[in-house]
Structure 1
């Protein structure tokens, strides 16, 4: 595992600035929760890490190496899990094939065995490997997406609003899976949500984003016990009400 670092990152779309001069560290083996309302720039920031959004200024590094340079070398040390559990899996592929497609080269038998192991790791029956995505619920599909991300043996996982499309009861299952995996595997993860109640459940550190800026960041317990920025205070009040 390696540190993921955003160094003075800005993202411009014409005259619009989506992210402005953001610096953020995702330490190795830790979960950093990035929270903010829709349009705050948090998903854009995440997409810069995996090369889906252009960096207008600054850079994103892994263990001190520019991620753009790593991608040009054919290396993909980050894996991303997207918000929509129904659009993230190929409906024509079995679950086992979906998980195995991100694996490093190995024999077919080895890939099949590893897919079953990863499904079990995210609390799914290994027999699910032979099913098509259409048979699974949204929560099950998000856990498959997590297994597929792990299959790529990433240094860091970027999870973008992965519980927002799920029912509250199903959200708990996915969040519990993430917490268990973090303890077992020492996952490095950037976990993005608009919901502070969700973020505080899984995060070691929390960063609060507002209008393209990080307005407050720190260890989760410290930030939640004594939020300094008015926007963080509002989010905390909303989370308490929730």
Structure 2
């Protein structure tokens, strides 16, 4: 299903996007050396419920997961890249943490993710990895607009990640979003320009470049959810929900540093 939002629905999407951005930025600021992943999940829960919003993750039960996700945010550390299930783990200096959050307000969802280094350590390889996903996301947003094709966005992402030297997995990628978190069209993280669905004003897309240092293969944890690099290498993931407008793409989940 591909949804095209009305002006009223788009206004609600902006509100949801602003909430997701606020929660993610708050959690990023609070995640320090010694923070437990379960505390991050509890903080996310408190902020979601206080806002009167609905978590897209607690009851999320897709075919690739094992039962309902059961938590309010994805917390992926170092070699974990997607669907990191919060667990009793304390963050250390130099850990690469990815927070991925999706909530719904007024019946419209927004989805965003941010990768960052915890503490003061700045391993060069990790800095470069995060930077590549952020540049790839910016490249996709730059070409998004009415009349563009999904393949144009995929190509923009894949060009940045490929030129940075990273293998690219196409199993998981960006997606349409609206009244539900995951919708068509699927946006792979590499592809051919000029192919696929033609973007229209009112379409919401969650664009999410993610990458692993030296592999495109994933393995699943015993929790049935957390996806890690097959080689144990570090990973990074950047995501924004954008709305296609008459003259381009509007970032609905843009974060503002405190």
Specify if TM > 0.5: no
Which has the larger helix fraction? 1
Higher relative contact order (CA 8 A, sep 6+): 1
Larger Rg: 1
Q: TM-score, normalised by structure 2?
A: 0.29
